[in-house]
Amino acid sequence: MKWKTQLTELLNCDYPILQGALSRIGNWKFAAAVSEAGAHGCLTAAVSMTPEKLRDDIRRCKDATDKDFGVNITVGMCPHIDEMLEVVLDEGIEVIETAVFTADEYGKRIKDAGRKWIHKTATLKHALHAEKQGADAVMLVGLEGIGFKNVLQLPTMTTIAWAAKHIKVPIIAAGGIGDARTFLGALALGAEGVMMGTAFMATRECPISDRFKEKMVKAFPDNPHLRHRVLAPPNPGDYEAVMKKRGEMPLPNWLTALERVMLKHDDWEIAPEMWNEDYDRLSNMMSFGVTYVDHIPTVKEFVDNIIEGADNIINGWEFLKRRP
Ligand SMILES: Cc1cc2nc3c(=O)[nH]c(=O)nc-3n(C[C@H](O)[C@H](O)[C@H](O)COP(=O)(O)O)c2cc1C
């Protein structure tokens, strides 16, 4: 079955599946593997650290795949953001993703350069704002997801179905998606495609330790720690304290601290300094996307499994064929 949606047209890829931005992890090699598998790879600009390295990484990615890939620029986390965006535009990247906060000025620069702009957000309100600013698609991450969370975030199912009633540009659903059923479910809710962070991390090409991948295979969504991290509201005292610190520390450090509070870690005060030390220990970043992780396939096997599984489900829906 052909998987042509507005999104595959926009992204110029075979399947409406996007790789999520992954700070410290989303390098050019990983992005190239995802694009080669027929999905849309994402190079996370913050991983490259400098504009010069980003240019080099984009070129390496182009050498590794003839397919299109995107670049994510996360506001507040991406160093040298203005120069980084300049490099991305200069290197001819067609689809550029912004994330976190409002990204109006970056969106405008992307659109003025004639490129496609996708903005990632956690709430319908912010997605509507991005659409109004000219975003070509919006990415909505529900509560089941990980990364930056929002105190007003809703579960993925509610978020996407609600957004589908109000948003006209293609919606990319994210948050706890990781297999054929959740992929199809997101499309049924009104999304034109899905984005996955956690589930893509459980692949052989992902540059994280085998130790962490084993942890993902063994993890269950009803583990109280995982459940708490993904679903519980932040500790009000920590939230208040970190909000007061805004402006007192460099923005990326503050965002690291805020993310730790939102993910209910009590190490938020030391997290910015630890960030470069022990990624596995500090990060422990995984979402309900681990529900479907029972082995570590290659990226291609992972994408093929989703597509094959989705085709099988649709073909198995006999009742659809019996309808007059
Ligand atoms: C380790 C890790 C690092 C991430 N870093 C970023 C980032 O730098 N920028 C960003 O926009 N999102 C980042 N995210 C969020 C993902 O791009 C994506 O929105 C999220 O993983 C979707 O939820 P899922 O994990 O349930 O698929 C990160 C997620 C993980 C797991």
Q: For each successive 10 residues of the chain (324 residues), what is the average pLDDT?
A: 89 98 94 98 96 98 98 92 97 96 93 98 97 98 91 95 98 98 97 98 95 93 90 91 89 85 81 59 80 97 98 86 70
Nearest to 124 by CA among 147, 158, 73: 158
How would you list the strands of the sheet with 69-74, edge to edge?
Answer: 17-19, 193-196, 171-174, 137-141, 116-121, 95-99, 69-74, 41-44
User: Are 170 and 192 in contact, with CB atoms under 8 Å apart?
Assistant: yes
Name which residue sits closest to atom 20 of ligand 1, judged by CA. Answer: 197
Q: Which residues sit opposite 96 in a β-bridge? A: 71, 117
| The predicted structure's pLDDT at residue 324 | 66
Q: Which atom of ligand 1 is nearest to the CA of 199?
A: 27
Report CA(62)–ligand 1 centroid distance (Å). 23
Reported residue count of the chain is: 324
Name which residue sits closest to atom 10 of ligand 1, judged by CA. Answer: 21
**Ligand 1 binding pocket mutation candidate from 74, 156, 198 (most atoms within 8 A of CB):** 198
CA angle 216, 191, 300 (to 5 degrees): 45
**Residue 175 Cβ contacting ligand 1 at under 6 Å:** yes
| The predicted structure's pLDDT at residue 148 | 81
**Ligand 1 binding pocket mutation candidate from 17, 18, 19, 23 (most atoms within 8 A of CB):** 23
User: Are 43 and 69 in contact, with CB atoms under 8 Å apart?
Assistant: yes
CA angle 196, 198, 222 (to 5 degrees): 115
Name which residue sits closest to atom 14 of ligand 1, judged by CA. Answer: 147
3-state DSSP call for residue 212?
A: helix
Nearest to 72 by CA among 33, 52, 100, 91: 100
**Residue 46 Cβ contacting ligand 1 at under 6 Å:** yes
Residue listed under structure tokens 């976190």:
100
**Residue 196 Cβ contacting ligand 1 at under 6 Å:** yes
Report CA(111)–ligand 1 centroid distance (Å). 24
Domain ranges of the chain: 6-210+287-311, 220-283
Report CA(50)–ligand 1 centroid distance (Å). 20
Nearest to 230 by CA among 182, 183, 172, 290: 290
**Residue 174 Cβ contacting ligand 1 at under 6 Å:** yes
**Residue 293 Cβ contacting ligand 1 at under 6 Å:** no
Reduced to 3 DSSP states, what percent helix, strand and coil does the chain have, rounded to the nearest 5? 50, 10, 40
**Residue 95 Cβ contacting ligand 1 at under 6 Å:** no
Task: State whether CATH 3.20.20.70 applies to domain 6-210+287-311.
Answer: yes
User: Are 312 and 180 in contact, with CB atoms under 8 Å apart?
Assistant: yes
Report CA(60)–ligand 1 centroid distance (Å). 23
| The predicted structure's pLDDT at residue 147 | 84
| The predicted structure's pLDDT at residue 276 | 55
| The predicted structure's pLDDT at residue 250 | 84
**Residue 198 Cβ contacting ligand 1 at under 6 Å:** yes
Query: Which pair of tokens denotes residue 195?
Result: 């984005």
